[in-house]
Amino acid sequence: MTETKRRNRRLALIAAGMIAALILAVCSTLFRGYDIRIDDKSIGYTQNTKAFSSAINAQKKTVADDRNLDNIIIANKVTVKPVLRFEGWTSDDKIVSESLSKVTDYDTAGAVLYADNKPIGFYKSQNDAGDAVTKLVLASANVQTNDLVVDCGFDNDLKMKDETFNIKKLTPSTNLASSVVGVAQANQANEATSEKISEKLSETVSKIPVEQDSAVNKRDTAKTEQVLAATGSTDQPSTAEQAENAENDDASLNLTTVKSESVVEQVPYSLITQEDANAFKGSQNVAQQGEPGQAIRNEIKVYKGDKVVQSTTMSYTVTKAPVNEIVSVGTKAANTKTSKDGKILLPCNGYISSFARGSGAHGDGTAVDIANNHGTPIYASVSGTVTKSADENDGYGNCIIIKSDEDSSMTFLSAHMSSLIAKKGDHVDQGQVIGLMGSTGDSTGDHCHFEIQINNVRQNLTKYFDLSEGMNV
């Protein structure tokens, strides 16, 4: 072959290669694109991933803002594969809408709290995890504002790990305490947490060991953008894989807390009685009102969980002394008329306004009316038990009936009182004040209506007393 032919052949090959390259470049421009797949399902074909990438980033920002998170990672498996396609491309709007509807699961990088290798809480940060432990200690030992945590610790192997987990697992800092002691007590401890954190408690929380998970650093928020820009696949697990990897986050925590507790207590007052010779027997008067005092009790308490297992009083200081209550008790004997045998007293002093005249009870001598000023003391005629102390709308008004200790068949009735002092069921001594004179029931003036009954039959009072109308007694 001549040199000319060889040169022409080389030129022809070069020209053919250039034409082929031109054709390939044209085909790559016209037909080369990307298959966008989420959880192995294609959502469309595009020659430009910019719209898809922008939609994903916007969606992640929305989720991050809603959850107040700094780090959002797509948990769905997202794949972008290069393809040659001769059947047309999916519109950007469809790519965007499909991506937003299909990407529904998100992870975040945070701190997972473990007890005996079981996860018990998922938090945005180690600080949040530590805050959850602090709230648990404060709530379980019911730490109040003036209390101090002297010592605390867990029987469990407690630790934290930096991990990536689904945002649905994010745990509020109060949940750990609520699961151990209940919502109400946990919320109470949460109200003033910063005021109650002692140096010892902070030290305990800060010493919880932290294990780094290298996988977290590989899956930052820029990962998806980098993959899309480079055209490839993310390393996010699928939703199904997330479910398979989910762990039971229920664990039993055994917490011991020692706290110094200051409690304000009431100091009870004493009741002191003193005799008053100027007051009638049975009367009582409060000469000095009692008031409780106050004291501060300092205790060291040991808690297992939220149960006190040991309590020791370290000091007890009375800050306000109690005021004792003083009650004056009357000892003066009643000076009313006594019966012929000396065993029965007329119930009050006064003058006999009605007795043994006319008809009815007063006419046949089975009742007597003794008149005096409103509020005159009415005494027990005998020692016995009060069987009635009431106004029963039977005409007697405020009425007291006493059953005799000496003879249970005998009862003594005093009626029309302004005030009842002895109550039904009380035991009264002879001469004790049982009420005050008045004009209740069927009455036209202040007086005491008095009867003696045997087996509910009224007795003629002349058998017991020397009485006449108008007499002062």
| Domains present along the chain, CATH in parentheses | 29-103 (no CATH), 109-256 (no CATH), 259-330 (2.20.230.10), 335-463 (2.70.70.10)
Distance between first and last Cα of the chain:
170
Predicted pLDDT at 189: 62
CA separation, residue 305 to residues 113, 140, 158, 185 (Å): 18, 6, 15, 13
Highest mean pLDDT (candidates 214-223, 281-290, 323-332): 323-332
> Are residues 44 and 95 in contact, defined by beta-carbon separation less than 8 angstroms?
yes
92-143 tens-digit pLDDT? 888 888 888 888 888 988 999 998 889 989 999 898 898 888 888 888 888 8
Question: Does residue 324 have a pLDDT over 90?
Answer: yes
More confident residue, 69 or 87: 69
10-40 tens-digit pLDDT? 766 766 666 555 555 545 555 678 888 888 8
Confidence of residue 363 (pLDDT cuts 50, 70, 90): confident
Cα separation, 255 vs 137, whole angstroms: 8
CA separation, residue 188 to residues 195, 253, 307, 452 (Å): 13, 20, 17, 66
Average pLDDT, the chain: 82
Predicted pLDDT at 42: 86
Cα separation, 402 vs 408, whole angstroms: 10
Confidence of residue 84 (pLDDT cuts 50, 70, 90): confident
More confident residue, 9 or 164: 164
Confidence of residue 226 (pLDDT cuts 50, 70, 90): very low
Q: What is the DSSP string of 267-324?
A: EPPPEEEEEEEEEETT-EEEEE--B-EEEEEEEEEEEETTEEEEEEEEEEEEEE--B-
Residue type, 360: G
Question: Which of 246, 236, 232 is CA-nearest to residue 74?
Answer: 236
CA separation, residue 135 to residues 73, 132, 186, 229 (Å): 29, 5, 7, 44
Cα separation, 154 vs 182, whole angstroms: 19
Confidence of residue 221 (pLDDT cuts 50, 70, 90): very low
